[in-house]
Amino acid sequence: MKEIKIGLIGFGTVGSGVVRVLQENAPLIEQRLGGRIRLHRIADIDLERDRGVQVPHEILTTDAEAVLSDPEIAICVELMGGIEPARTFILKAMKSGKHVVTANKALLALHGAEIFAAAQEYGVRIGFEASVGGGIPIIRSLREGLVANRIISIFGILNGTSNYILSRMTQEKKGFREVLKDAQRLGYAEADPTLDVEGIDTAHKLAILAALAFGIRVDLNDIFVEGISAITPLDIQYSSEFGYRIKLLAIGKGDGAKVELRVHPTMLPAHHLLSTVEGVYNAIYISGDAVGPTMFYGQGAGGLPTGSAVVSDLVDLCGDIIKGIKGRGSHLPLVSSQQGAIKAIDEVVTPCYLRFTALDRPGVLSTISGILGKHEIGIASVIQKGRKIKEAVPVVMMTHEAKGSDIHHALSEINSLDIIRAKTTVIRVEGDIA
Ligand code: NDP
Ligand code: HSE
């Protein structure tokens, strides 16, 4: 039986998940592949920590160079994360003729063009199924299953950590910080969890999906990004009173002159399928012109689900090596020469949830609604509970569809009023996801 040797750099949450999948499903994988995937070397800084899996001691090394410069290794699996030295390692592996598998969405979103150009130059391939949606095979689905479609829109819950936090804040009324600690303990969060909770990790994943779906080169700076760290239990409670759930959503719409790409907490109708996605689960709701709406669902983070995606790339690459297939590209490349025109958030039109923190005085509601009206913003409903003469109280409004620039100007004016005691919270609403 033909044996393909692979090297792993990064024996953390995902690295150990990969090793477990390779070990536990070895007979199945060998039978399906008609060959054997041999884990030849594992590099990690810390060789003492218990990884929950047993590997022969002699394959462990603290030196990534031992993977990169070993001519027997055909595929280098990069699971250390971060930008450097991961970028340098991947470029070096490719230069020495190794195929690469990575889950590093931050690196692909920032340096994808350079990495894919190098892969082409050196005649190697890169597998990145695990970079979006954890265990959900969304990259392959977009590139193969949906290749016949013009993609109209993508709505994705793409960050397991944030969805886990929002779900537990909703169900158990727990505070943000407490739940984040659990997500870290469970191995869902990035080494720097601000990437998760500030929406940056979701933007990295949206950049990858949008490049595939809309065939454009995405500059991360063009994606509007807002995280969940300012969402309070009060917003969650009000949103459910209005019949909505709050999710951190990646939104991509490609059916206008400009592509719309944004990441922010979003209020979705409570009955929508995406609203039912809880905990570490991710879901990607994609509409194509021929297929209509589709939804992909599964665990978006964690060692084993992500390991499943990494190993799927390994099987794919090893299959080609065994069959002697070289240079198989995809019909949907990750990197396009076409720079996409992205709609600015000021141009985006949505209904909005606005939570003002206002002194409870006569005339407050009419002052706020007057300013909103002046900026062409119509009010659909208002909630104000509790009466406190001296303290500020929450005043919540749902607007009709409003342009981003109008919301922006109105809130600048309202936030500077004496009666307003804190920055107004804005949550955009997507009421009509088809
Ligand atoms: P971990 O931090 O758990 O694992 C990374 C491992 O790499 C650590 O053991 C780290 O050692 C080691 N490492 C760091 N630098 C080097 C180096 N120079 N040489 C060798 N080893 C090194 O991260 P994850 O497994 O969670 O994530 C890995 C990648 O997968 C990231 O790109 C992440 O974004 C991505 N990903 C993660 C998912 C998840 O659920 N966790 C899901 C999907 C993608 P030390 O800890 O000592 O620094
Ligand atoms: N930190 C990421 C998440 C890992 O929580 O979704 C999966 O990409």
Residue 328 lies in a domain: no
pLDDT of residue 389: 63
Residue 336 lies in a domain: no
Strands 420-429 and 352-359: antiparallel
- Within this chain, do residues 148 and 251 fall inside the same structural domain, yes or no? yes
Return the residue whose CA atom lies nearest to atom 38 of ligand 1: 301
Catalytic residue chosen out of the listed positions 92, 105, 205, 343: 205
In this structure, how many other beta carbons lie within 10 angstroms of the beta carbon of residue 164? 24
**How many whole angstroms separate alpha carbon 306 and alpha carbon 416?**
47
DSSP 379: E
Mutate to test the pocket of ligand 2, among 102, 182, 190 (most ligand atoms within 8 A of CB): 190
> Can you spell out the DSSP letters for 254-287?
-SSSSBEEEEEEEEEETTSGGGG--TTEEEEEEE
pLDDT of residue 387: 66
Compute the distance from residue 13 Cα to the ligand 1 centre, in Å: 7
- Whether 159 is in the pocket of ligand 2, judged by its Cβ within 6 Å, is yes
Residue 163's nearest CA partner among 246, 235, 240, 219 is 246
Confirm whether 205 is a catalytic residue.
yes
Residue 273 lies in a domain: yes
Compute the distance from residue 55 Cα to the ligand 1 centre, in Å: 18
Q: Are 181 and 193 in contact (CB under 8 A)?
A: no
- Whether 156 is in the pocket of ligand 2, judged by its Cβ within 6 Å, is no
Compute the distance from residue 383 Cα to the ligand 2 centre, in Å: 35
- Within this chain, do residues 175 and 108 fall inside the same structural domain, yes or no? no
pLDDT of residue 386: 67
Strands 281-288 and 244-253: unpaired
**How many whole angstroms separate alpha carbon 73 and alpha carbon 66?**
10
pTM of the model: 0.97
- Within this chain, do residues 85 and 162 fall inside the same structural domain, yes or no? no
- Within this chain, do residues 131 and 57 fall inside the same structural domain, yes or no? yes
Q: Are 295 and 145 in contact (CB under 8 A)?
A: no
Please list the rounded mean pLDDT of every run of 10 residues in the chain (434 residues): 97 98 98 98 96 96 98 98 98 98 98 94 96 98 96 98 96 89 96 97 97 92 96 94 97 91 98 97 98 98 98 98 87 74 94 95 93 98 77 94 98 97 96 82
Q: What is the CATH number of the domain that holds 83?
A: 3.40.50.720
Q: What is the CATH number of the domain that holds 162?
A: 3.30.360.10
209 is in which domain, residue-wise? Answer: 138-297
Determine the residue type at 278: E
pLDDT of residue 326: 87
**How many whole angstroms separate alpha carbon 151 and alpha carbon 142?**
9
Q: Which residues contact 23 (CB under 8 A, 6 or more apart)?
A: 53
**How many whole angstroms separate alpha carbon 73 and alpha carbon 85?**
19
pLDDT of residue 205: 98
Q: Are 433 and 272 in contact (CB under 8 A)?
A: yes
Residue 287's nearest CA partner among 251, 244, 258 is 251
Residue 341 lies in a domain: no
Residue 275 lies in a domain: yes
Domain count, the chain: 3
Instruction: Kindly report the length of the chain.
Output: 434
Residue 417's nearest CA partner among 379, 365, 382 is 365
